[in-house]
């Protein structure tokens, strides 16, 4: 079930300032910070401040926030050094559950970009 804060969730602790992070963006509902183990020259994570595990745990109440996160991603990507236009661009990715390769169970949107090659495809 969704809840505001989950004990022992590292991303809730990042939102609460109990674990340090390199902030990219923050507003009332979301927080963005650099991935500690980047897979690309630019790699940051966008998370809702409210805890929910992944898209399978999202509800209709989360639609506006998820839309807002997707809509602001290009601006943040550009600010972090992703190059504009079709010769630049960036990747957004959400891993969900074991089969989705999810490691941290607080919904997060990966934003990756910058000149290739990257550490991962």
Which residues are catalytic, by number? 108
Under rule CB under 6 A, residue 87 binds ligand AMP = no
Under rule CB under 6 A, residue 101 binds ligand AMP = yes
Beta strands in the chain (DSSP E): 23-26, 30-34, 42-48, 90-93, 109-113
Cis amide bond preceding 117, omega within 30: yes
Under rule CB under 6 A, residue 56 binds ligand AMP = no
Backbone angles phi, psi at 107, to 5 degrees: -45, 130
Sheet holding 90-93, edge to edge: 23-26, 30-34, 42-48, 109-113, 90-93
Q: Which parts of 5-34 interact with ligand AMP (CB under 6 A)?
A: 10, 19, 21
Q: Which helix (H) or strand (E) holds 74?
A: helix 63-79
Choose the one of Zn ion, ligand AMP, none that binds residue 92, judging by a C-beta under 5 to 8 angstroms depending on kind.
none
In the bound complex, what is the minimum distance in angstroms from residue 42's beta carbon to Zn ion?
24
Contact set with ligand AMP (CB under 6 A): 10, 19, 21, 35-37, 95, 101-104
Contact set with Zn ion (CB under 5 A): 6, 9, 11-12, 51, 106
């Amino acid at each position: 079930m969704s809840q505001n804060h989950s004990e022992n969730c590292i991303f809730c602790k990042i939102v609460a300032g109990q674990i340090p992070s390199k902030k990219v963006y923050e507003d009332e509902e979301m927080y963005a910070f650099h991935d500690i183990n980047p897979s690309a020259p630019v790699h940051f994570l966008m998370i809702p401040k409210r805890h929910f595990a992944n898209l399978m745990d999202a509800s209709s109440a989360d639609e506006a926030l998820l839309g807002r996160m997707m809509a602001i991603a290009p601006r943040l990507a550009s600010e972090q050094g992703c190059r504009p236009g079709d010769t630049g661009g960036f990747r957004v990715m959400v891993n969900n559950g074991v089969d989705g390769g999810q490691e941290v169970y607080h919904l997060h949107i990966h934003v990756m970009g910058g000149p290739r090659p990257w550490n991962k495809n």
